[in-house]
């Protein structure tokens, strides 16, 4: 009975995150853009970390990101290294989606999809998912942000565990070109 409750809690958490991504994406698509995204185009190189994993001490999770914001869309490439108690691994992912602004400030809300490859134990595994977050450009050269992701990971097969959705939360600091 306890296992069924755990599965329900995980499903509810994943369902809520997927629903939030869907609603945010739908809302952003239907939003009146009215030039709020003008002038928000930039290229940034950032470093990010998974807040939960690093603060709990279960793993060191740090990434280098290259991100380009266009007028209404963004693209990002991410190179991540994770060193946890079971093993160290790396992953490479790309993300793309829409970004928008509500407050006519230097903020950029975004929602998008991700796809990548996980390199673990000399094998390559797929990952695919979604993300949403906010970036705030503090000045002409500095950007900070927070992001949550939900990725379907297939690398757990090496421990004979089923593939599953994994939620991660990141903070980032970057340099704008």
pLDDT tens track of the chain, all 177 residues?
455 555 555 556 666 666 666 666 555 554 444 444 455 688 999 999 988 777 776 778 889 999 998 888 899 999 999 887 777 889 999 999 998 877 767 888 999 999 999 998 889 999 999 999 999 989 889 999 999 999 999 888 888 888 889 888 999 999 998
Q: Across the chain, where does the E strand assignment appear?
A: 42-50, 59-69, 73-84, 88-100, 107-120, 123-137, 142-153, 164-176
Number of residues in the chain: 177
C-alpha–C-alpha distance, residues 50 and 38, integer Å: 30
Q: Domain 2-176, what fold?
A: Porin (2.40.160)
Contact between 98 and 108 (Cβ < 8 Å): no
C-alpha–C-alpha distance, residues 68 and 112, integer Å: 13
Provide the pLDDT for residue 33: 47
Provide the pLDDT for residue 71: 83
Contact between 150 and 162 (Cβ < 8 Å): no
pTM, rounded to two decimals: 0.74
CB-count burial class (<10 Å; 0-12, 13-18, 19+) for 14: middle
Provide the pLDDT for residue 24: 61
Q: Please name the residues in contact with 80: beta carbons below 8 A apart, sequence gap of 6 or more.
A: 61, 62, 63, 90, 91, 92, 93
CA distances from 68 to 5, 71, 92, 95, 102 (A): 42, 10, 17, 11, 20
């Amino acid at each position: 009975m306890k296992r069924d409750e755990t599965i329900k809690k995980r499903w509810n958490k994943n369902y809520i995150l997927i629903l939030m991504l869907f609603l945010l994406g739908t809302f952003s698509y239907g939003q009146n853009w009215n030039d709020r995204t003008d002038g928000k185009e930039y290229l940034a190189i950032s470093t990010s970390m998974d807040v939960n994993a690093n603060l709990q001490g279960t793993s060191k999770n740090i990434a280098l990101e290259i991100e380009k914001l266009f007028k209404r869309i963004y693209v990002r490439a991410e190179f991540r290294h994770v060193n946890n108690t079971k093993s160290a691994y790396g992953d490479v992912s790309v993300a793309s989606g829409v970004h928008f602004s509500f407050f006519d400030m230097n903020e950029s809300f975004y929602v998008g999809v991700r796809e990548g490859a996980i390199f673990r134990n000399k094998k390559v595994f797929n990952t695919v998912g979604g993300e949403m977050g906010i970036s705030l450009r503090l000045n002409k050269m500095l950007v900070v942000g927070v992001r949550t992701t939900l990725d379907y990971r297939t690398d757990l097969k090496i421990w004979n565990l089923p593939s599953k959705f994994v939620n991660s939360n990141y903070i980032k600091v970057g340099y704008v070109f």
